[in-house]
Chain A
Amino acid sequence: MDALLLHPTTIGGKLLLMVIAIALFALVMAAVLGLAQLPKRQTRGAAAAVFLFPALALVCFGLIYPALVTIKNSFYDQTSTSFVGLKNFATILSSPEFLTTLRNTVAWVILVPLLATGIGLVYAVLVDHARVEKFAKTLIFLPMAISMVGASIIWKFVYDDRVGILSRAYRAVAGWLGAEDPTAPKWLMDAPWNTFFLMVVMIWIQAGFAMTVLSAAIKAIPDDIIEAGRLDGLTGVKLFRWVTVPMIRPSLVVVLTTVAMTALKAFDIVRTMQGGHFHASVVANDFYTQSFNNHDKGVGAALAVLLFVIVVPVIAYNVHQLRKAEDIR
């Protein structure tokens, strides 16, 4: 039974378990919905309850309850047995290593969205109505399909000491400029610049996202508004600055915040490329190390709470926007 339903080890066993799981899910859903059809006259409340219950139950079990426990744990010791007040937060904020981590995270959250959005915007304008628009867009967009782990390996190869294209190019240029036996910097080791070279990977991935959303926003600007700008004598960069950018401002805000949130939470790149050593760690990586490698539940929880606190203003802003949209409708 255990090998069948919990821990299959053969390929056939795994695929069978997958089919069983989906069938089981379908069965449960059929039962739940069948239940909803039983009463002759359905009341609204009952129907809503049946439709909402499975999703809400899972959200409570998997997100809300554990999040509350994490908040509680952040005020408890390593094993969550005794209350220690703010000690975990004090530990974090008084450690120089952690302050470096925090500095890196701030750099990620500010620089990655700005650069990715900037590149995406310029690119969206460049390819707009170009003959090769679709193909050019796909080139930039493709990294979105690649996992951050895959992207990390791709870029680790770019940064490789011996055969990486960046190191080779650096040596070629330095040699050409007259340096004797030039050595390329250790891109992923030399702090603080290594953080920048890690961020490049995220920018490489996210520029495609920014480009797609902003390109759609630019295309949605009514032609007569552009025309009006032209009649007022605006052309080129000025038209872009005074007509296009204000018209797509809401989209710019969405892209900036979305990329910032992604940059804040991601630990894949740092972990895969150099493990967060050499003063290049970020909060999300420290969270993983503390929680799952060091098994320090207190500090790990405090780091998770810290991530959450950084996100709160974005949540508030989003909810505000949602409310506004509902009022309009």
Chain B
Amino acid sequence: MSGIQAAPAAVTAGSGRAGAGRGDGIGGGNRGLGGRAARAKRNLTSPWASGIAIGIGLLWSVPTFGLLVTSFRGSVKEIQSTGWWQALSPSNWSGFSLDHYRTVLSGSGTANLADYFINSIVVTLPAVVIPIFLALLAAYAFAWIPFRGSNLLFVGIFALQVVPIQVAMVPLLTQYVNLGLNASFWVLWLSHAMFGLPLAIFLLHNFMKDIPSSLVEAARVDGAGHVTIFFRVVLPLMVPAIASFAIFQFLWVWNDLLVALAFGGNTPDLAPITARLSDMAGSLGAKWHLLSAGAFVSMIVPMVVFLALQRYFVRGLLAGSVKG
């Protein structure tokens, strides 16, 4: 495995999943020496390639852009009878308004999304914090506390990553009912934490084991226990890795539909915005003014997080792939 660097900031992109040796060194590898070569190469790339790339990129954005334009078109009648691109001609610009956003966010009508939006926030925060902390502890044990059976246990956790969560859902629901927790935020938090743990442990362990052992051993020699080492030495170095996984888990929880539907139902007291939107897509049929605004209300948060923290997301992607 190449590309594992000691500097904590670059530890991140280190090891590819399962030694597949993928994409090592995106974090820092290409900067220094490669920089000049890259610049030389850049001059050689054809403008055609760039042109085609931008063309495909724009084509990729057309569907999203179309719905975005629709969400701002004031006249419901026009939305349902003319194409969204017709709204782009300057003579039609006066028709743009925020009315549909007001409708989906205000308390009136069938499409009130404000409650569901809050539910998404309430579900997501603990569902990100809890698995990260638990996985950090477990990853620390796998990386820095030698014990019998460590390897076997780790392989077991690793294997669980791709197991479809569908196999666990129905009996888990029965357990929740027996515990009296059914249809509460607690089961959503618990479920997301449990389903996220295997990937979290694997990913964070990948970063954790790249911390130079001299640092940990020096602390041991100074008489520090594992708890002290965990908080004082390891945790500060893990911040970039934590950011990477946090974005993963955030996107996964915020965008999830399966867990939300199975354990959260479709009530405004509990269901996150994805569950409500999926239902609206079925029941509202072609009411595109509501669906378009609703879709963008649900998409704005993950898009902002994603664009702001893209760098960390890519690191996580390269270090541990995605779960399902």
A residues engaging B (CB < 8 A)? 6-9, 11, 14-15, 17-18, 21-22, 25, 29, 33, 36-37, 42, 44-45, 47-48, 51-52, 54-56, 58-59, 61-67, 69-71, 73, 123, 126-132, 135-136, 138-150, 152-158, 160, 162-163, 165, 168, 204, 207, 209, 212-213, 215-217, 219-220, 223, 248, 250-251, 253-254, 258, 261-262, 264-268, 271-273, 275, 284, 287-288, 291-292, 297, 300-301, 303-305, 307-308, 311, 314-315, 318-319, 321-326, 328-329
Query: What chain A residues lie within 8 Å of B112 (beta carbons)?
Result: none
6 A-B Cβ contacts within 8 A? A132-B54, A145-B305, A216-B23, A258-B321, A275-B282, A291-B262
Q: Which secondary structure dominates where chain B touches chain A? A: helix
Number of A-B contacts (CB under 8 A): 399
Query: What chain A residues lie within 8 Å of B251 (beta carbons)?
Result: 144-145
Least Cβ distance of B259 to chain A in Å? 11
From A143, A261, A301, residue with most partner B Cβ within 10 Å: A261
Asked if B190 contacts A62 (CB within 8 A), the reply is yes
Query: What chain A residues lie within 8 Å of B170 (beta carbons)?
Result: 66, 70, 73, 291, 297, 300-301, 304
Given known A153-B277, A250-B16, A251-B22, contact A204–B63 (CB-CB < 8 A): yes
Asked if A251 contacts B198 (CB within 8 A), the reply is no
Which of chain B's residues has its CB closest to A254's CB?
B20
Q: Does B244 contact A (CB under 8 A)?
A: no
Asked if A319 contacts B299 (CB within 8 A), the reply is no
A319 to B197, CA, bound (A): 17
Query: What chain B residues lie within 8 Å of A163 (beta carbons)?
Result: 79-84, 288
A195 to B121, CA, bound (A): 33
Asked if A147 contacts B255 (CB within 8 A), the reply is yes
Which of chain B's residues has its CB closest to A301's CB?
B170
Which of chain B's residues has its CB closest to A59's CB?
B197
In the complex, which of the residues A44, A55, A143, A307 contacts B145, with contact meaning CB atoms closer than 8 Å? A44
Question: B283-324, CB under 8 A of A: which get 1 and which 0?
Answer: 000101001101100110011011100100010011001101
Asked if A160 contacts B23 (CB within 8 A), the reply is no
Asked if B53 contacts A265 (CB within 8 A), the reply is no
Asked if A322 contacts B141 (CB within 8 A), the reply is no
Given known A62-B194, A147-B254, A311-B164, contact A162–B226 (CB-CB < 8 A): no
Asked if B322 contacts A18 (CB within 8 A), the reply is no
16 extra A-B contacts, CB within 8 A, seeds A157-B291, A318-B162: A14-B185, A42-B225, A51-B138, A55-B138, A70-B167, A126-B53, A138-B307, A155-B63, A209-B317, A220-B26, A272-B278, A291-B169, A303-B166, A305-B167, A308-B167, A326-B151
Q: Does B49 contact A (CB under 8 A)?
A: yes
Query: What chain A residues lie within 8 Å of B58 (beta carbons)?
Result: 139
